Amino acid sequence: MEFQTSVIELIKMRTSSRTFEQRNIESITLKKLKDYITKINEESKIKAKVIFIQNDDTDGSKGMKLGTYGIITGANSFIVGILNSEEKDYMEFGYLFEKIVLFATDLGLQTCWLGGTFNKENFKQNITLKDNEFIPIVSPVGIKKDKPRVFESAMRVFVGANKRKPWSELFFEAGNLVPLNENSEGEYAIPLEMVRLGPSASNKQPWRIIKDRNAYHFFLCRTKGYMRSGYDMQMNDIGIAKCHFELAANELGLNGRWQELKNINTPNDWEYTCTWSK
């Protein structure tokens, strides 16, 4: 098993933390995290990598400065996603990064996905990038303070961090698009619920799933006017949904595989992304 704790429980317990204790991660825990990041990089089939960086200067008086525009305080360790500019599989990148986030959760560490709210130039000064590489995603990682700042509490309220769309807005039957009934989905109700609980950029929850007999088709329902700014955060969100669904299904012993099918009927202005076939 990749995780010591049930991944279903990890998904339920993971929250975005923005206020951290100014102390380093314990060495044994840090080694486990670094080893897992190495494992993910070795398994990756896309032009991407994830690295860990840490500022040992816990009082912030010297050493590297990593800018998060005041969104994050106290963090001195970060998981940094690096993508080749030729790579366009943002869904797979989101999938890989979320596996690392969940592994960090399993280690008792807290994280927070950051796409637009960090100073990319500031991070680039502390990381050696190739000419064709850029940083689309970072996450602080460490121990959160027991009492969050007033700013963090207000931000969670503003973005509705604890709110999730109901099943009736996310999951549907093929053909007439009648909402799926959570009570009639059997064991697959849990993987679907893990998708519903996933984090997403600005909590837009752009995933939509259509059940078609023995298959679940994943679609992206874009938020109108949502900026892409060189990296497609909402396709990244579909990668998170894919990660949650697959890990939960695997844990429950539900056999299936991912496919990209042709001629899928796409409703409204949704974008077809992939299919889980039983």
Per-residue pLDDT 10s for the chain (278 aa) are 689 999 999 999 999 998 899 889 999 999 999 999 999 999 999 999 999 998 765 444 433 456 665 678 888 899 999 999 999 999 999 999 999 999 999 999 999 999 877 877 788 888 889 999 999 999 999 998 876 655 444 544 445 556 899 999 999 999 889 999 999 999 999 999 999 999 999 999 999 999 999 999 999 999 988 766 789 999 999 999 999 999 999 999 999 999 999 999 999 899 999 999 99
The CATH number assigned to the domain with range 163-277 reads 3.40.109.30
Residue of 97, 100, 112 whose CA lies nearest to 143: 112
Residue of 27, 32, 207 whose CA lies nearest to 103: 32
Cβ–Cβ under 8 Å, residues 25 and 74: no
> What are the domain boundaries of the chain?
7-154, 163-277
The rounded distance, in Å, linking the Cα atoms of 118 and 138 is 8
**Amino acid letter at 71?**
I
* pLDDT at residue number 275: 98
* pLDDT at residue number 67: 64
Neighbour count for residue 72 (Cβ, 10 Å): 23
The rounded distance, in Å, linking the Cα atoms of 48 and 96 is 10
* pLDDT at residue number 118: 80
CA angle 260, 262, 266 (to 5 degrees): 95
Residue of 238, 240, 223 whose CA lies nearest to 273: 238
Cβ–Cβ under 8 Å, residues 17 and 199: no
The rounded distance, in Å, linking the Cα atoms of 175 and 67 is 48
Please report the sign of the dihedral spanned by the C-alpha atoms of residue 104, residue 106, residue 109, residue 112: positive
Extract the tokens encoding 68.
């998060």
Residue 27 CB partners (closer than 8 Å, separation 6+): none
pTM of the full structure: 0.91
Exposure class string for 192-213: b at 16+ Cβ within 10 A, else e: bbbbbebbbbbbbbbbbbbbbe
Domain 7-154, CATH homologous superfamily name and number: NADH Oxidase (3.40.109.10)
Same fold yes or no, 7-154 and 163-277:
yes
The rounded distance, in Å, linking the Cα atoms of 131 and 175 is 47
